[in-house]
Structure 1
Amino acid sequence: MKYWPWMLMLVSSNLMAAEHQVSGVVDIRVSHTDSITSYVDGGLGKFRFNPNGQLSLVQAGLSYHLDWENPFSAHVVANAYWDGVRDNIGFTEAYFKYKGLPWDNGLRLSGRFGLLYPSISLENIATAWSSPYTLTYSGINSWIGEEVRHVGGQLSIEQLGKFSGSPHDFKLTAEMFQSNDTTGAMLSWHGWTNSSRQTLLQEKLPLSELPSLNAGSLTEQARASDPFLELDNNIGYHLKTQWRMQGQGRVELGYYDNDGDTRVVKEGQYTWLTRFTHLGAKWRLPYRIELITQYLKGDTLMRAPSGINIVDNDYDSGFILLSRKWQKHRLSLRFEEFSVTDNDLTPDDDNSEHGNAATLSYGYQWHKGWFLQAEYNRIDSTRPARTAQGYDKRLIEQQWQLASRYYF
C-alpha cells in the first residue's frame, strides 16, 4: 500500500499519449498560538502549532494530473511541511479516475480507484486538498485529513437534470475500501482538533502521554498509530446521496463503516470499528453569501483480545460557515460544536470532551494566484484527560495567523 503512488506514476508514464498538468500551492505563515503542546506533537492541544510564535512552511502541495484522450485520468498529490513540529514530505492522494460522457437519458457514470479521501468534505476543494475559505479546517475535516483516508474504489451514477429541462441533479456514490483499520484512535485519544495538516502516507501519529497508555490498561497499544494500516482484511464501505439544484447549491447525506474486526491486534496496532453518518449542504444565499454546513455523528470501538470493550465512544461535530467573496476580497466566519461521549468502563482512559470553536478569516488576492490571508481561531473545550498532564480540564485556546498562499 505504501508504494501505491509510485506504482500509479510508473503505469501512467508508460501508457498512451496524454496531457500532463501540474498545479500546486505554497503556504507560508506567521502564527502565534496560545495553547498547550499540539496534538501533532503528542500533546492535547487542539491546534496544529505548539505554543508561542513561529514562521512555518505550512503546506507545499504538488498535484500531478495525467489526462488521456478518453474518460480516464490519473492524479497524484504530494505535500511537504516545515513547521517545527513534525517536518516531513510525502504522498497524500494517488488514484485513477473515470468520468464518462452522459448518455442520452442524462445518466453519467464516474469513478475513482486508489489512495483517496472519502467524498465528504465541502471545505477542502482547492489544490492539494486545501481550503479557499479558511486557513484552519473545521473539526470534521481536520479529522478526515488526519485518519479518515483509505485505498479503495468509488463508483458514482448521476442523473443530470438539464437533459430533461430540470434544474435538479441527483447523484449516488458507493465506495469500498481497506487500509484504515485504526481509524478512530486519534479522535478518541486527543479529541477533535482544528488543523491544516494532512497525514502523509508513510507517517505514524504519536499518542499523548495518557495514564492508560503509559503503564496503564493500554500498555499493549503501540506508542504511535498507523492510520493506513490493514489488519483484518475486511472491506469497509461508504454510501452517499446528493441532490443538487443548478445555480443554487447541493445537499448530501452519507454513511461510513470501516467494518473493523475488533478481535484483530498486530504489533500493538488494534483494529477499530468506526462508523458515522454525515450530512452537509452548500448553498448560495442572498447578498452573494455562501453557506457551508456539515454535521457528523458516529461511534468507534476498540476491544481487548478477550472481547472486553476498552474504548467505546460516541462522537459528533457540526459547523456552519458563512463566506462572502467580492472583487479581490473574501471574508469567512465559522462556528462549530463538538463532543465525545465515553461509554466504556476503563478507569484510566477518559476520552470524554465537549466544546465549541469559532474562526474569523479574511483573504485578499494580491496578484493572480497569490493570496494574503489573516485568521483568528478560538476553541473553548472541556476534556478531563488534561488533568493527568497538569492542565485544567477546561481550556480556552486561541490562535492568530498571517499567511501568504501562492497557487500555480
Structure 2
Amino acid sequence: MMNRILRDVYLTAAISGVLLSSTTANADDFKPFFDISGLADVKISFGDTELSTFDGGFGKTREGDGTNVRLSQAALIGFGQLTPSLSAVAHIQYNPDLQDEVDIFEAFLRYRPVSTGRVRYTTKLGAFIPHVSAENKGRGWTNLFTLTNSAANTWIAEEVRPLGLDFTAEYRGDTFDAEVGASVFINNDNSGAGLALRGFVLNDQNVGIFGEVRIPDVGMRIGQTQAPFREGDDSPGFAVSARLSSEDYGEFIAYYSDNGATAGEPFSNGGQAWDTRFLTASYNHDLPGGVFVNLQGLVGTTETIANGGPLGTNFSTISLLLAKEIGDLQLATRGELFDQNDTSDCPCPFLGETGEALTVAATYRLGDHHRFIGEYLHVSSDREGATANQPASFNENVFQLAYRLVF
C-alpha cells in the first residue's frame, strides 16, 4: 500500500515538473525550461565467477559465469527549471536484472535561491541519493572511471535512498569552498538487510525506489528479495554531511546516516526493520603528473531481531582509485578491501566475511556522446556461512567490454 502511494506521489511530481516547465514567462521575464538527458550501456562480458546474487548465489559480481551480451542499463533524467530558484529532477531507469525493470532512481524538487554572495543555501524535497564520492558523478550516477562501482558505492546505490528533506549551506571562499548539510527522511527502514544477508557485492546496478535486492538461497530463503525502501515504525531517520574543497589540496567529503529504524519492528506487509547506521568519507585530489586519486572508506552496523536475538553485522570497506587521462583515453585502477563481522546472538546463518577486489579499466571518449570501455575485475572473498551454512572461498574474474551512449 505504501509503495503504491509513493509511486503515485513520485509520478505526479515528475509529470508536474514537465507541465510547469512549459508555462509561459513570468513577470520577471524568466522562461521555465525542461531538458532530458540520459545514457544507455550495451555490454559483453566474459566471466568464470560463482553464481551471481541476481540468481540466488553468493557471487560478488553482476554477470556470473559464461558470456553475456545485452543492454545492461538505460536511464532518462528529466530536469525542469521552474523558477529562477526552483527546479525539479526525475531520474527513470531500465535494468533487466531487477524485479522492476523500469523504476525511479531519484525524484526531487530543489530550491536554491540565486546568490551572488559567498553563502548559498539549497533545499531538496523528495528521494535523492547522497553525494558521497568523486567516482559516481557521471550521468545517472554512473562511475566516471570504471564500469563496476566500488563495494561501498554499490551498496549505497542499492540500499540508501532517503525520502525526505535535505538542507545544505555552502560557503564559497577565495581559496576553498565548504558545505554542511542535514537531512530528515523516512522510507529507508529496510536498508542493510541485503548487505547483512548477502555481503558486499560489486556491480553497476542502481536499485530504484520501488526495487528489491535479491537474497542468496540459504535454508528457507529460496527466491527471496528484500525491499530496502520501506517504513516500519513511522520514526524518521537523519543524516549529516560535510564537504571541504580546495584547488590546491583536493576535496574531502563525509556523510553520516542513521535510518532511525527500530530493530525487528514488523512491516505491515511482512518482514521486519533493520537498524542501520554508517559513516562514509572520501578524499580526492589531482596529483602531479595528471594522476587523479580517490580514497574512500565506509564503516557501519546493521541489526534486526530474529529467533529472539539480534541478527546483524558490523561492516567496513576501503578503496583506493588512481586514474590518468592521455588525450581521449582514460586509464584507471582501483583496489579495495571489504569486511563483515557477525554480531548475531541467535541460531542464525553465519554472516561474517572478508574480501578484496581489483578493478582495471580503460575508457576511450569519442566526442561528447560515445564511450568505449574495457574492464577487468577480480574479486576474492571468504564467507563464514554460504550454501548449507558452510564456510566458502570464492575467486572470481570478469572481463567486460561496453559501449555507452550519453546524451
Q: TM-score, normalised by structure 1?
A: 0.91
Question: Compared with structure 1, are the counterparts of its residues 87 and 109 closer, same or farther at alpha carbon in structure 2 (3 Å cutoff)?
Answer: closer
Q: Distance in 2 between matches of 1:188 and 1:263?
A: 14
1:132 has 2:137 as partner: no
Contact 2:217 2:387 (C-alpha < 8 Å) held by counterparts: no
Q: Aligned residues: percent identity?
A: 26
Superposed CA offset, 1:347-405 (max 9, x none): 33111000110000001113431011100000111012224278x61111110000001
Q: CA offsets per residue over residues 315-337 of structure 1, 9 Å max, x none?
A: 00110111111211000100000
Aligned pair 1:4/2:5, yes or no? Answer: no
**1:369 is the counterpart of 2:372:** no
Give the secondary-structure state (helix, strand or coil) at the position aligned to 2:7: coil
**Kept after mapping to 2: 8 A contact 1:169/1:246:** no
Q: Deviation per CA, 1:273-315: give whole Å up to 9, x if none.
A: 00011111111111111111110101111014x8x43313100
Contact 2:379-2:396 within 8 A present in 1 as well: yes
Task: Please point out which of 185, 191, 213 is paired with 2:193.
Answer: 185
Residues 314 and 343 of structure 1 are in contact (CA less than 8 Å); yes or no, is this contact kept in structure 2?
A: yes
Q: 1:269 to 1:122 in 2, by over 3 A?
A: farther
Q: Is the 8 A contact 1:226 1:269 kept in 2?
A: no
Instruction: Say whether the 8 Å CA contact 1:41–1:86 is kept in structure 2.
Output: no
Q: In structure 1, what is the Cα distance between the partners aligned to 2:235 and 2:100?
A: 33
CA distance in 1, matches of 2:342, 2:220: 14
State the number of aligned residues. 392
* CA distance, structure 1, for counterparts of residue 374 and residue 8 of structure 2: 38
Aligned residue runs from structure 1 range 218-229, under 5 A: 223-229=224-230
Q: Secondary structure at the match of 1:311?
A: strand
1:69: which partner in 2?
A: 83
Q: Quick one: distance in 1 between partners of 2:115 and 2:285?
A: 25
Q: Secondary structure at the match of 1:109?
A: strand
The answer as to 2:106 corresponding to 1:93 is yes
**Which residue is 2:344 aligned to?**
344
Question: Which stretches in structure 2 are left out of the alignment for 5+ residues?
Answer: 1-5, 25-31
In the alignment, is residue 147 of structure 1 matched against residue 159 of structure 2? yes
- Provide the C-alpha distance between the structure 2 equivalents of 1:157 and 1:203, rounded to a whole number of angstroms: 32
What is the CA–CA distance in structure 1 between the aligned matches of 2:106 and 2:100, rounded to whole Å?
Answer: 19
Unpaired runs of 5+ residues, structure 1, are: 215-221
Secondary structure of the residue aligned to 1:188 is helix
Instruction: Report the equivalent of 1:217.
Output: none
Alignment of 1:192-271 (within 5 A): 192-211=200-219, 213=221, 223-246=224-247, 248-266=249-267, 267-271=269-273
1:404 lines up with 2:403 in the alignment: yes
SS of equivalent to 2:63: coil
Question: What RMSD over aligned residues (CA atoms) do the two structures have, in Å?
Answer: 1.9
Partners of 2:388 and 2:238 in 1: how far apart? 37
Closer, same or farther in 2 for the Cα pair 1:134/1:269, shift >3 Å?
A: same
Q: One-letter code of the match for 1:328?
A: D
Asked if 2 retains the 8 angstrom alpha-carbon contact of 1:272 and 1:300, the reply is yes
Deviation at 1:252, TM superposition (A): 1.7
- Report the residue type matching 1:71 in the other structure: S
What is the TM-score with the length of structure 2 in the denominator? Answer: 0.91
